[in-house]
Amino acid sequence: MKKNIHPENFRFVIFKDMSNETTFLSRSTAHSKDTMVWEDGNEYPVIKLEISNTSHPFYTGKNVLVDTAGRIDKFNKRYAKKK
């Protein structure tokens, strides 16, 4: 591995998956104004995620059903030429 390429100003951060409320503690250099108390009683910054390995279909093995027919109908109604 190359030396001196990794940042040294990392800190512990809580990552929170907003789709299923799962949280995990890891190191990061990302900045956040939100904070949260972790299981150890310490307060850490919170980074909110839309999707993580606990909610992604590839990792969970569950497919998300998408209503494509409803989307197409909604699109056609919205942008149909008015007669």
Per-residue pLDDT of the chain (83 residues; tens, 9 = 90+): 788 888 888 899 999 988 888 899 999 998 899 999 999 999 999 999 887 777 766 656 666 555 556 777 778 888 886 65
DSSP classification of residue 74: H
What are the domain boundaries of the chain? 11-79
Per-residue pLDDT, 17: 87
Residue 11's CB is within 10 A of a number of other CB atoms, namely: 11
Per-residue pLDDT, 76: 81
Per-residue pLDDT, 46: 94
Distances, alpha carbon 47 to alpha carbons 15, 30, 32, 41, 61, in Å = 5, 8, 6, 18, 25
Q: Which helix (H) or strand (E) holds 6?
A: none
Per-residue pLDDT, 59: 57
How many residues in total does the chain contain? Answer: 83
CA distance 65 to 45: 34
Per-residue pLDDT, 43: 95
User: pTM (2 decimals)?
Assistant: 0.62
